[in-house]
Amino acid sequence: MKSATVEAAFSRDAFHRGRFWLIQPLHSGHRAGMDAMMLAAAVPSSFSGRLADFGAGAGAAGLAVAARCSAAEVVLVENAPQMLECAQKTLAEAGNAHLAKRACVLDADISATGNARKAAGLADNSFDYVVMNPPFNQPDDRATPDSLKRSAHVAHDGLLESWLRSAAAVVRPRGGISIIVRPQALPELLSALRGRFGGAQILPIHPRADRPAIRIIVRAIRGSRAALNLCPPLILHDNGSDRFSERADAINNGLATLFGD
């Protein structure tokens, strides 16, 4: 992506080789990148309908879906004030005019339950798909040497359980979900999917062919009872190279999908 400073606090970044742009905080908050592009690449190209991007940030994953799936209507769900402002600026950006009519921002707390969730605009069975890139520990936390504390945090903070509960409420039966998490979250994620989403496809993402996975993408179907599948991994870099592999680059630019559909 290319960056250009539009004012002191924001940058304007091209994604999908300039097919859409994000207005992002320049020095703080979550800046979108490969994770959001891979998450969006898990949605089938044939998808049509209403899609929620939970924790949308500036709108990276949602807009990447809208850019590739011409029949998708995306709702960017966010409630951090700075990121909401970015998402609004993103939709107002001239370079996104071709997508803006199929995208909107919803200020809502994804962890809300029952009537509070409905009142926030997240009605039951009102979406065909949810994508989510749940926040995890910040880089500062990752630097801590206390691996016990870190894994405990991942396992017990209940965020995935809370977000999956909301996703199961708002997605219609047989609707879909795509999630990107660190591999360490797999036990909590599978536990949170149980009884809600089935037919899970797990796709590991490795930095190189001989290194452990750094992310997993999981795709699943609301109400399905089908068994899960563990898919061939995506390798980000060919051995001996620091550039993205051809496949990773195509996915990053909206030219290929993760599951080939």
The verdict on 145 binding a second copy (CB under 8 A) reads no
E strand segments, the chain: 3-7, 10-15, 20-25, 48-54, 71-78, 103-107, 127-132, 171-181, 197-206, 215-222, 229-230, 234-235
The verdict on 223 binding a second copy (CB under 8 A) reads no
Query: In whole angstroms, how close is the CB of 217 to a second copy at the nearest point?
Result: 12
The verdict on 212 binding a second copy (CB under 8 A) reads yes
Query: In whole angstroms, how close is the CB of 232 to a second copy at the nearest point?
Result: 6
Query: In whole angstroms, how close is the CB of 184 to a second copy at the nearest point?
Result: 4
The verdict on 183 binding a second copy (CB under 8 A) reads yes
The verdict on 191 binding a second copy (CB under 8 A) reads yes
The verdict on 230 binding a second copy (CB under 8 A) reads yes
The verdict on 198 binding a second copy (CB under 8 A) reads yes
Q: Using an 8 Å Cβ cutoff, are 59 and 22 in contact?
A: yes
SS3 (DSSP) at 94: helix
- C-beta closer to a second copy: residue 49 or 198: 198
8, 27, 227, 242: residue in contact with a second copy (rule CB under 8 A): 227
Instruction: Give me the amino acid identity at 197.
Output: F
Helix (H) or strand (E) holding 169: helix 159-170
The verdict on 186 binding a second copy (CB under 8 A) reads yes
**Nearest 5 degrees, angle CA 24-CA 248-CA 197?**
80
The verdict on 239 binding a second copy (CB under 8 A) reads no
Span from 73-81, 97-105, 110-118, 227-235 in contact with a second copy (CB under 8 A):
227-235
Backbone angles phi, psi at 234, to 5 degrees: -100, 130
18, 123, 187, 261: residue in contact with a second copy (rule CB under 8 A): 187
> Where do we find the tokens 């409905």?
118
- C-beta closer to a second copy: residue 2 or 156: 156
94, 210, 240, 241: residue in contact with a second copy (rule CB under 8 A): 210
Residue 12 CB partners (closer than 8 Å, separation 6+): 3, 4, 5, 6, 21, 22, 23, 93
34, 104, 190, 256: residue in contact with a second copy (rule CB under 8 A): 190
The verdict on 141 binding a second copy (CB under 8 A) reads no
Distance CA 83, CA 110 (A): 14
The verdict on 231 binding a second copy (CB under 8 A) reads yes
Give 231's DSSP letter. P
φ/ψ region of 204 (left if φ > 0, alpha if ψ in -120 to 50, else beta) reads beta
Label residue 83 exposed, middle or buried (CB < 10 Å: 0-12, 13-18, 19+).
Answer: buried
- Residues near a second copy (CB under 8 A) are 147-148, 150-152, 154, 183-184, 186-187, 190-191, 193-194, 198, 202, 204, 206, 209-213, 216, 225-233
